[in-house]
Structure 1
Amino acid sequence: MKQNVEDRAAMLGEYIVENKATVRRAAKQFGVSKSTVHKDVAERLRSVDMGLYKEVSSVLAVNKAQRHIRGGMATKRKYEAQKK
């Protein structure tokens, strides 16, 4: 993904808002690391588009609040699969 980092930050932000995506899902979709996605949407996007930055921040806040539930469900599926 060779392009301007500001453009990439805006594209990542739009993807996260439109799909209510997690950082992991956005990283996989765009072929970059989770660290890159986080830096782009948490730091670079602020200087590119403040409105989009606020929208992305709210989506990521929801994801952060729900991550313990997703982790618990993944563990549950893991052990149910081992029983079979």
Structure 2
Amino acid sequence: MFRTDKERAVQFGEFMVSRKATVRATAAEFGVSKSTVHKDLTEQLPKLSSSLFSEVRKILEENKEQRHIRGGLATKHKYEIAQK
């Protein structure tokens, strides 16, 4: 699968950028935890490829900004179903 943690961090970053994927989707794709993906992307990747990390950071920030919206929509959906 992965030869090194460094290689893994780059693969996670390339996957996220190519698909605009979330940390959760990346973790599921590679069969690792969300914590592993996030740690590799924020701690390893900046040391290995600053340009790739810059792109990944944009996606992470975008996902963070949308998190409260997704949570609110899920709650709304939950109560809509409960009232039927």
TM-score, normalised via structure 1 length? 0.90
Give structure 2 stretches of 5+ with no counterpart: none
Alignment map for 1:42-81 (pairs within 5 Å): 42-81=42-81
- 1:77 CA displacement: 1.9
- 1:62 CA displacement: 0.6
Alignment map for 1:3-82 (pairs within 5 Å): 3-82=3-82
Considering only aligned residues, what root-mean-square deviation do their CA atoms show, in Å? 1.3
CA deviation vs aligned residue, 1:8-53 (integer Å, no higher than 9, x gap): 1001001111111111111111111111001110010011111000
Could you tell me which amino acid in structure 1 is paired with residue 40 of structure 2? D
**Is the Cα contact below 8 Å between 2:2 and 2:8 reproduced in 1?**
no
Give structure 1 stretches of 5+ with no counterpart: none
SS in 1 for 2:16: helix
Divergent runs of 4+, >3 A: none
- 1:81 CA displacement: 2.6
How many matched pairs?
84
**Is the Cα contact below 8 Å between 2:46 and 2:53 reproduced in 1?**
yes
